[in-house]
Amino acid sequence: MRIVQERGLLETIFQSIQEGIIVVDRESRLKYANRAAETLVGVAFEKFEGKPIARAMRDIDWDQILDTTGGAWTRLVSRELEVTYPQHRFVSIYAVPLTGEGKDGGGAVIILRDVSHERQQEADLVESERLNAVKLLAAGVAHEIGNPLNALNIHLQLLHREIRGLPDEKQAALRELVEVARAETQRLDLIITQFLRAIRPAPPDLAPASIEQLLKETLVVMRPEILNRKIEVHLEQADGLPQVPVDRDQIKQVCFNVIKNAIQAMSDGGRLGIALSVSDRHLIMAFQDTGTGIRPEDFGRVFEPYHTTKPDGSGLGLMIVQRIVQDHGGQIELQSKPGEGTRFTVLLPLAERRVRMLNASGPRAGTVGEASDGAESS
């Protein structure tokens, strides 16, 4: 009676713990497995009781884990497995030898533990280190570019004063050239400022704004490059688009980076379609180009820092876009087909959200012409 009670107590304990427990005999036959083990590896072990463990879990090299040389296990073995069914997990396996004499003696206890969380923490740490490297790079670039920009701006102001002493017929043409140069240096200074603001984890300064107006202001700034590359831009917008709470400068940076990314993918000219629409929860900006598209092997890396497929690309443009959109509580959808183009969609919430989406593992794949969107990595 006491043995039965103790067996029942042990069974209750084994079934209540989160770690999986599997017991095999010296011939590697399954003797026991708790519910946690079945959950972790997606196998109903009851069907395999008394049978070799390799029949229940065929993808594991049990000869390596359960080395029965000499008739008994003589070592502690630790392995890590990637399980894809019924849920994607990383499982750590510990095989502990059991000692015992006689027919029923010997064997091993196999302990399974879900280490997916630890794996994710390691990945997050690596990503954090990469972002820190980008921040250091950004600070250095801003310092190195900022000083000559300031000097250039000062000399343009001095040149503007000198022009005043020239005859009127010469002043007009030279003044226009100087103003263009000053505007471009100011734009470059603004881009650097916005870049640093996007890299740093500072929250956006939200205020109601017209996305249509911000987009048009960006297109005005980029007009010379668009014309130079022989790109046709077509803007479509739904009637009555509402204002949305955004950081104006940051969203203009999003538009700038996405448009620049698209036109760089169309080296021989092309068409960039931009559509503004609204759903129940989001204002939607969709950018469709006719560029080279994204290769399947590059698709999962478009938001990674320093990853670029262009000779003059920095590999930072889409990473900045992703950071800004996530800080706004928005979403990004990406579609592309090599040789046909890319569609990039930004969804901004109509109102400030109390719950925000965390970083996704990567963009969603698709083909051009479906409901999702994207752009090439810059």
Please write the tens of the pLDDT for every residue from 46-56.
888 888 888 88
**pLDDT per residue over 249-280, tens digit each?**
889 989 998 999 899 888 888 999 999 999 98
For residue 362, tell me if it sits in a domain. Answer: no
Same domain, 151 and 275: no
What tokens appear for 7 in the block?
């067996």
Q: Tell me the residue range of the domain where 18 lies.
A: 2-114
Q: Cβ(175)–Cβ(163) under 8 Å?
A: yes
* CATH number assigned to the domain comprising residue 164: 1.10.287
Query: What is the Cα–Cα distance from 85 to 69, expressed in whole angstroms?
Result: 32
Q: Cβ(296)–Cβ(367) under 8 Å?
A: no
Around Cβ 281, how many Cβ atoms within 10 Å?
13
**pLDDT per residue over 100-119, tens digit each?**
665 556 788 888 888 888 88
pLDDT class of 192 with cuts at 50, 70, 90: confident
Look-up of token digits 């519910």: 35
**pLDDT per residue over 280-313, tens digit each?**
889 999 999 998 888 877 766 777 654 455 544 4
What tokens appear for 37 in the block?
């083990």
* CATH number assigned to the domain comprising residue 330: 3.30.565.10
pLDDT class of 4 with cuts at 50, 70, 90: low
Same domain, 345 and 216: yes
Answer with the one of 114, 137, 152 that is the final residue of a domain.
114
Answer with the one of 53, 86, 114 that is the final residue of a domain.
114
Query: What is the Cα–Cα distance from 348 to 329, expressed in whole angstroms?
Result: 7
Same domain, 168 and 140: yes
Query: What is the Cα–Cα distance from 197 to 321, expressed in whole angstroms?
Result: 12
What pLDDT does residue 286 have? 96
Same domain, 219 and 326: yes
Same domain, 104 and 50: yes
**Which distant-in-sequence residues (6+ apart) come within 8 Å of 170 by Cβ?**
163
For residue 367, tell me if it sits in a domain. Answer: no
For residue 237, tell me if it sits in a domain. Answer: yes
Look-up of token digits 């999986």: 20
Answer with the one of 114, 143, 174 that is the final residue of a domain.
114
pLDDT class of 367 with cuts at 50, 70, 90: very low
For residue 369, tell me if it sits in a domain. Answer: no
Same domain, 242 and 326: yes
What pLDDT does residue 254 have? 92
What pLDDT does residue 199 have? 60
pLDDT class of 89 with cuts at 50, 70, 90: confident
Same domain, 215 and 252: yes
For residue 354, tell me if it sits in a domain. Answer: no
CA quadruple 347, 340, 309, 189: dihedral positive or negative? negative
- The residue that leads in pLDDT, 3 or 146, is 146
* CATH number assigned to the domain comprising residue 26: 3.30.450.20
Same domain, 245 and 331: yes
Domain count, the chain: 3
Same domain, 136 and 10: no
What pLDDT does residue 103 have? 59
Same domain, 250 and 219: yes
Rounded to an integer, the average pLDDT of 201-217 is 88
Query: What is the Cα–Cα distance from 376 to 315, expressed in whole angstroms?
Result: 10
Main-chain dihedrals φ then ψ at residue 24, nearest 5 degrees: -125, 155
Rounded to an integer, the average pLDDT of 227-239 is 91
| Res 90 pLDDT > 80 | yes
Same domain, 109 and 215: no
> Which residue from 309, 275, 272, 306 is spatially nearest to 294, judged by alpha carbons?
309
Same domain, 60 and 125: no
**pLDDT per residue over 150-168, tens digit each?**
888 888 888 888 888 787 7
pTM of structure: 0.48
Query: What is the Cα–Cα distance from 369 to 119, expressed in whole angstroms?
Result: 36
For residue 377, tell me if it sits in a domain. Answer: no
Rounded to an integer, the average pLDDT of 342-358 is 74
What tokens appear for 120 in the block?
């994710």
For residue 38, tell me if it sits in a domain. Answer: yes
For residue 359, tell me if it sits in a domain. Answer: no
Mean pLDDT, the chain, whole residue set: 78
